[in-house]
Amino acid sequence: MRPVNQALATSSRRPPAATIQRHPPADAGGLPDTLPEILRRVYAARGIRGAEELARSLSDLIPPHRLRGAGQAAALLADVIEAGGQILVVGDFDADGATASALSVLALRAMGHARVDFLVPNRFEYGYGLTPEIVDLALAREPDLIVTVDNGIASLEGVAATKAAGVPVIVTDHHLPGAQLPEAAAIVNPNLPDDDFPSKALAGVGVIFYVLLGLRAELGARGWFESRGLEAPNMAQFLDLVALGTVADVVPLDRNNRILVHQGLQRIRARRCRPGILALLEAAGRDPARVSAADLGFAVGPRLNAAGRLDDMLRGIECLLADSLPEARELAAGLDGLNRERRRIEQAMRREAECLLDGLGEDPAALPWGLCLFREAWHEGVIGILASRIKERHHRPVIAFARAGDGLLKGSARSVPGLHIRDALDRIATTHPGLLARFGGHAMAAGLSLREADLEAFSQAFDTVVRERLGEDDLRHRLWSDGELAAAQLTLETARVLFDGGPWGQGFPEPLFDGLFEVVQQRVVGEHHWKLVLRPADGGEPLDAIAFNAVATHPRMPERVRAAYRLDINEWRGRRSLQLRIEHLEPA
């Protein structure tokens, strides 16, 4: 397979048809009878078997002492704090790294330590992680201790350089480790092979939150707060940042992460959160009182990420650190502008990518199973989003590449269920030594770099590995439905019950239902979206519905449809009503 880099043409390729598949019946016997029946059904389909798995209290969090290395890191931090030393936080340029950086600075200050600063690499100048180049910048600030957040587990050279300079490093990360670990003073990562921490899904911001919980306990045991007349900070005040970083990084919402996200959302809804988060919600037109995990993932996260994608994540962290709403609003307005520019660039890149795919022919079977996409002018900061969009449309692993200078390409990979993308890259690195300059990541997302001259060889190797690990059935786009709802269940109250039953997100998906409807009214809004009035086929009242970006795939609306939908609460001029958010339509 040759890298897809053909001349542009008018895009005509249709994505593979989605199929609606219902969750098999699941036993809800272990769930409380007091739960609404619709929630018992939905929870059972997600593998929830007992009330303890639904706990959302902070007292139900896995305790910090169970996270390997957290106690050691807390002791090292406490030593430097007692000595009045300078602590430098080195973050990442995405929303997880930004929230982790802001959390570290704010929490350390709240614990009475003012000598704390942060450094976040500019992706276009220094790349990802604690590189030797970033170490030079870091050492210029004369730190007594460096703490990495959301990075560092693969920074072998950078940690070695800081150690040689006599500055210890605490690595806090959640990315999968390689065969060799950095020689850090302490490493905290739930994905270390010998760490039995029950939640492997912690985001980077979650890892440093656990370290800071341990630090507060360590300082308390040493009498730090009492000796200085300080009150130990309530760490719950930082859960808005933990929730935002966790959702934006698309890590699975296992039981522990659901607690962190739920508690953070509760604080945001009560407006007891960072002014920067309120300002970003305002810029996105979201009501903080009704904020959901989806709002963090699709409204706040992209605006924060836009700083790291197009400019410098320093701007995003400054927004999160802002002390007042007016200051935060000014910074959020700038981030909103960057996000609009990011969307413009992304749309142009998507059109080019689809044209590249058209060059392979109309037959979907002609597409490589593992797609490698590259054009010389693509923006390095947007290739991750591009890979996600193409993966969603064609339902196969995708790596989008951009030039990174010095003859290198930087790639951003996104996968589908069934293929662990980081393991796939590791397999290529093992079977083709020297082909990859570097790589790292998770099961569903990864980053890599290679020589531009090696792109064709890598593309062939990637497609081969994907075909070894997936079957044709894995390339089919399935929408997993929670079944039908009777007309009597299509109510505002059902929507409220489901909203309150979250947080929903990666690995714990928002409930999706399907059914047959008559199309009573239809009109196009915003050029790309269908605004509909649907009547359930088994009778009942007409219902408002919206199908975003559906005009291109359904230029004409049939009289009768089968729809996969979620229940939404629409608010207009102070009035709340039920709205179906259509995820898939097909003629019935």
**Tokens at 93, concatenated:** 């340029």
For residue 36, the cross-strand partners are none
Boundary of a domain, candidates 425, 456, 475: 475
pLDDT for res 334: 97
Question: What is the per-residue pLDDT across 565-581, written as a single tens digit (0 to 9) for each?
Answer: 999 998 877 789 999 99
Contact present, 135 and 162 (Cβ < 8 Å): yes
pLDDT for res 4: 46
Q: Do 95 and 216 belong together in one domain?
A: yes
CATH of the domain at 119: 3.90.1640.30
Q: Do 519 and 439 belong together in one domain?
A: no
Distance CA 235, CA 341 (A): 36
Question: What is the per-residue pLDDT across 90-120, written as a single tens digit (0 to 9) for each?
Answer: 999 899 999 999 999 999 999 999 999 999 9
pLDDT average, residue stretch 36-55: 95
pLDDT for res 19: 87
Sign, CA dihedral 276-282-283-285, equals positive
Residue 125 banded pLDDT, cuts 50, 70, 90: confident
Q: Do 41 and 158 belong together in one domain?
A: no
Residue 121 banded pLDDT, cuts 50, 70, 90: confident
Q: Do 553 and 430 belong together in one domain?
A: no
Residue 15 banded pLDDT, cuts 50, 70, 90: low
Distance CA 414, CA 442 (A): 10
For residue 1, tell me if it sits in a domain.
no
Contact present, 308 and 94 (Cβ < 8 Å): yes
Boundary of a domain, candidates 233, 249, 275: 233
Q: Do 366 and 486 belong together in one domain?
A: no
Q: How many domains does the chain have?
A: 3
CATH of the domain at 24: 2.40.50.460
pLDDT average, residue stretch 397-407: 95
Q: Do 583 and 467 belong together in one domain?
A: no
Which of the 8 DSSP states describes residue 279? H
For residue 571, the cross-strand partners are 576
With CA atoms as reference, report the closest residue to 492 among 547, 424, 557, 571. Answer: 571
Strand, coil or helix: 98: helix
Strand, coil or helix: 252: coil
Q: Do 99 and 48 belong together in one domain?
A: no
Distance CA 42, CA 512 (A): 9
For residue 455, tell me if it sits in a domain.
yes
pLDDT average, residue stretch 336-348: 96
Distance CA 256, CA 262 (A): 10
For residue 201, tell me if it sits in a domain.
yes
Q: Do 69 and 191 belong together in one domain?
A: yes
For residue 92, tell me if it sits in a domain.
yes
pLDDT average, residue stretch 260-283: 98
pLDDT for res 14: 54
For residue 348, tell me if it sits in a domain.
no
Distance CA 238, CA 109 (A): 12
With CA atoms as reference, report the closest residue to 189 among 203, 103, 90, 248. Answer: 203
Q: Do 460 and 425 belong together in one domain?
A: yes
Residue 361 banded pLDDT, cuts 50, 70, 90: low
Strands 408-414 and 445-451: antiparallel
Residue 553 banded pLDDT, cuts 50, 70, 90: confident
pLDDT average, residue stretch 415-428: 94
Distance CA 368, CA 15 (A): 14
pLDDT for res 442: 83
pLDDT average, residue stretch 372-387: 95
Q: Do 438 and 541 belong together in one domain?
A: no
DSSP string, 10-79: ---PPPPPPEEEEPPP---TTS-TTS-HHHHHHHHHTT--SGGGG--SGGGSPPGGGSTTHHHHHHHHHH
Q: Do 135 and 23 belong together in one domain?
A: no
Which of the 8 DSSP states describes residue 510? P
Domain hosting residue 370, numbered range: 360-475
Query: Which H or E element spans position 494?
Result: helix 492-500
pLDDT for res 363: 64
Boundary of a domain, candidates 413, 442, 475: 475
For residue 220, tell me if it sits in a domain.
yes
For residue 345, tell me if it sits in a domain.
no
Q: Do 29 and 77 belong together in one domain?
A: no
For residue 134, tell me if it sits in a domain.
yes
Cis geometry, peptide bond prior to residue 16 (ω within 30 degrees of 0)? no
CATH of the domain at 463: 3.10.310.30
